Amino acid sequence: MGIIVIDEAPVRKWATSNGKGNDLGELVHDKELNKAVLDSIIRSAVDHKFTSLEKPRKIYLTPDPFTSENGILTVT
């Protein structure tokens, strides 16, 4: 599984063009957005000739960046 920190601007653009709400907390759980992001990753992986082991089968979307300030990362 891949954990993906979403980029707010493209996600909001996708939400607008797909008639979705504007709440990032809800959007990260949207199955259509999840599929769109995963499909994009797979297309890029195929273009760059990644092996099957390098391609995620599932992803988890989050609006929270990985930082030491929010406790997701450590300073070491």
Residues 2-55 have pLDDT tens digits of: 999 999 999 999 999 999 998 999 999 999 999 999 999 999 999 999 999 999
- Say if CB 41 and CB 2 are below 8 A apart: yes
Q: Which helix (H) or strand (E) holds 10?
A: helix 8-17
Distance of CA 28 to the CA centre of its chain: 8
The predicted structure's pLDDT at residue 62: 95
